[in-house]
Structure 1
Amino acid sequence: MRILITGSSDGLGLLTARLLSPTHQIILHARNPTRATHASQSCPKAHATVIGDLSTLAGIRAFALEADKHGPYDCIMHNAGLYLGPFRKTEDEMPALVAVNTIAPYMLSCLMAKPKRLIFVSSQLHQGGDAELKDITWRKRGEGEWNAGQAYADSKLHNIMFAFAFARHFGIACHSVDPGWVKTKMGGENAMDDLDAAVETFGMVCTGEGAAGRREVGHWYQKRERDFREEARDVETQEKLLKILEGISGVKVPE
């Protein structure tokens, strides 16, 4: 299988790449040349490394074109993500977290050649996300009202919605996955969930092995299905999110 994993220069993305690279063709992603070198050295069996900045609309478009050169893909895993931190307003007048966590997986799913499987990395923190989808770019609220925890929770709810929405639109296997609270740079040293189980879960959904291969869509944690906000399953809410993102990005879900 040929698998693209975004955000794979460190953390769970890199660990998953290292797990799968001995038996699959893995394409890594890093946001700059320095991180690309680190990723390639850390996962020497990877097939290739693609550089791309997913914090801007132009960067996302450029990455889609470059990454597609290494396809077609059996699976694309949207793992890149930001957590907490300052507003970090981009050239598109929105926080980098929103661009990387929500807009990038949407645009890439629409712009790139359709794979056999799409995977979106979520979190149990999605439970605090805003299902009414108010001002998802934070352009109205602005830096003065910025709440990184809320923005992260919102994006992780969006990620589950994507799995169900793109499964309907594309007719392919789509899953969201929750790694739990694990010891990575993002999770911190106090994290208590099983890191190995998280990586194995990522591998399972990417390859479609085990339980993930018996379902076309689902939300996974520690190699088993996990409950999630029912709003994420609501088709009307999913379509509202896709329409909002079409307006922000200028990219429409292909027929």
Structure 2
Amino acid sequence: MSRILVTGSADGLGRAAADAFLSAGHDVVVHARNRQRAAALDALAARGAHVVVGDFVERDAVRRIAAGLSDAEPLDAVVHNAGVWSGPAVMPVNVVAPYLLTALLPGPRRLVYLSSGSHFGGRPSLTGVDWRGGSAGSYADSKLFVTALAAAVARLRPGVLSNAVDPGWVPTKMGGPNAPDDLELGHRTQEWLATSDEPAALTTGGYWYHQQTQDPHPAVHDEEFQDRLLEALAEETGTALEGR
């Protein structure tokens, strides 16, 4: 069985994935941004999940969580599920936090980053991006960036299975009650990529939708853009993402 961190697991897709991992017998680490949200994880904790708390808007919180996890039993997989739709937290939560966790937790051999079909509307430009969230960033841009991050990790760490997943427009708190896609299918692909030994799940650098690879935005596999993104994030955070 695997030890798996699922960020943003107090509700929605993250909670559904954490619940499924626990039901399959995996050792699961769940995450909430504050103590009030963590109360929603009590039922999962009662089933054996380990709880970590920290607001991903705050880089010190991300570093503290990474340090605590580095001192614990090694992780086999991370599902970077935490995300916000709008407001000044878009870049810190959707891009900076998964970047920092990836840089600070070199051990996991499987990484799953939550993307979105909205990434096709993102702009492959880093000019004027406010990584600290002093202004509202574009959700589409953030999802393009994190999808490119997944591809960059796949290139730089060939021993790691790194993939991005579009869960579809599903009826979660973020997606809204009238979202047309299937909530069950929305979390199944990240679970499969994090744990399955099927040959298709043992691939890397993919952009997935319902267990099928899709062609992402052309910038995602543009190595020059990937390198510029990593350089910008390394400069901004003071933490470089090392290859393997």
**What TM-score, normalized by structure 2, do the two folds share?**
0.92
1:9 — aligned with what? 10
RMSD, matched Cα:
1.9
1:34 — aligned with what? 36
Sort the Cα spacing of 1:200 and 1:247 in 2 relative to 1 into closer, same or farther, 3 A: same
- Give distance in 1, aligned partners of 2:107 and 2:131: 30
Trace 1:86-101 onto structure 2 (pairs within 5 A): 86=87, 95-101=88-94
Matched position secondary structure for 1:188? coil
Q: For 2:126, which of 130, 133, 140 is the aligned residue?
A: 133
Q: Is 1:72 the counterpart of 2:74 in the alignment?
A: yes
1:249 — aligned with what? 237
Trace 1:45-194 onto structure 2 (pairs within 5 A): 45-84=47-86, 86=87, 95-137=88-130, 143=135, 146=136, 151-171=138-158, 172-194=160-182
Displacement after TM superposition at 1:46 (Å)? 3.9
2:206 — aligned with what? 218
Sort the Cα spacing of 1:142 and 1:78 in 2 relative to 1 into closer, same or farther, 3 A: closer
Partner amino acid, structure 1, of 2:117: Q
The answer to whether the Cα contact below 8 Å between 2:113 and 2:146 also exists between their aligned partners in 1 is yes
Displacement after TM superposition at 1:33 (Å)? 1.4
The answer to whether the Cα contact below 8 Å between 2:96 and 2:131 also exists between their aligned partners in 1 is no
- Give distance in 2, aligned partners of 1:81 and 1:125: 13
The answer to whether the Cα contact below 8 Å between 2:131 and 2:236 also exists between their aligned partners in 1 is no
- Give distance in 2, aligned partners of 1:135 and 1:63: 29
5+ residue gaps, structure 1, are 87-94
Deviates more, 1:176-185 or 1:125-134: 125-134
- Give distance in 1, aligned partners of 2:5 and 2:83: 15
Q: How many residues align?
A: 240
The answer to whether the Cα contact below 8 Å between 2:155 and 2:205 also exists between their aligned partners in 1 is no
Deviates more, 1:188-197 or 1:211-220: 211-220
1:90 — aligned with what? none
- Give distance in 1, aligned partners of 2:166 and 2:223: 21
Instruction: Give CA-to-partner distance per residue, 1:143-175, whole Å, 9 cap, x none.
Output: 4xx4x5xx1111101111111111122221100
Partner amino acid, structure 2, of 1:55: V
- Give distance in 2, aligned partners of 1:249 and 1:192: 37
The answer to whether the Cα contact below 8 Å between 1:122 and 1:176 also exists between their aligned partners in 2 is yes
Instruction: Give CA-to-partner distance per residue, 1:103-143, whole Å, 9 cap, x none.
Output: 0011110012321111110000001111122222167x964
Partner amino acid, structure 2, of 1:68: S
Deviates more, 1:106-115 or 1:234-243: 106-115
- Give distance in 1, aligned partners of 2:156 and 2:85: 29
